[in-house]
Amino acid sequence: MAQIAPDTTAPDEIDSSHQLTASDRCDSCGAQAYIRVAIGTSELLFCAHHGKKYQEKLATIASDWHDESDRLLQNNRA
């Protein structure tokens, strides 16, 4: 389910410094989200797979692209 910022929130006010957690789920499949995309006052969350799948289409309209998918590699090295 998409997380939608209040209508009074400007795109630059969406907290992109917030690290995604295991409770943040992909809007496409429900897997753990590693990518947050801000479009206007809305926010979409994606797993690494769906984030990469939709990146080309969304990059032209996104106001912010927050990608933490590198954490997947860090977890495998530990």
pLDDT digits (tens, 9 = 90+) for 32-55: 999 999 999 999 999 999 999 999
Tokens of 46: 């994606």
What is residue 27's predicted lDDT score, i.e. its pLDDT?
A: 97
Q: How far apart are CA 50 and CA 4, in angstroms?
A: 19
Answering whether pTM is above 0.75, one says: no
What amino acid is encoded at 18 in this protein?
A: H
Contact 11, 64 (CB under 8 A): yes
pLDDT digits (tens, 9 = 90+) for 9-25: 444 445 556 799 999 99
Question: Per residue, what are the HEC states of 24-66?
Answer: CECCCCCCECCEEEEECCEEEEECHHHHHHHHHHHHCCCCEEE
